[in-house]
Amino acid sequence: MTGVTTYAVLLPGDESVWEAASPEERAATYARHEEFSRLLAERGHTIVGGAELTHSRTAKVVRSNGSGAVVSDGPYAEAVEQLSGFYLVQSDDLDDLLQLCGLLAGDDGGVEVRATIDHEGDPS
């Protein structure tokens, strides 16, 4: 497939809203993801990876202190929204992919879509 790029579809979210969501609200969210996946496949996009992430309170941050790694608890950034999941999608039609990502954006948030860098064949 010529012109195919892999895009990271990053899904930020307010974790406190998700934790407080009812079973019905959660089911509706999962249904939107199923519809997103179905439409991607129908329209020629390919999901090549992705996952729902655990709560940011379970994150570990690793930094270098010059003599080794220092590991601390918690998310990398203090923010209301944290990365809650992601998809890796191969596509040759970014405009269509962006339209489909609107299904996941919801009323109160957005979805970040970024191309990945392909270093295959890159001599550097």
pLDDT in tens, 34-56: 999 999 999 999 999 999 999 98
> What element of type H or E holds 99?
helix 94-105
Domain layout of the chain by residue ranges? 5-115
As given in the structure block, the two tokens for residue 65 are 């202190």
Whether domain 5-115 has CATH 3.30.70.1060: yes
Average pLDDT value for residue range 51-79 = 86
Q: What is the pTM of this model?
A: 0.84
Q: What sign has the CA pseudo-torsion 95, 97, 99, 104?
A: negative
Position of tokens 């809203």? 17
**Is residue 5 a contact partner of residue 107, using CB atoms and an 8 Å limit?**
no
Stated length of the chain: 124
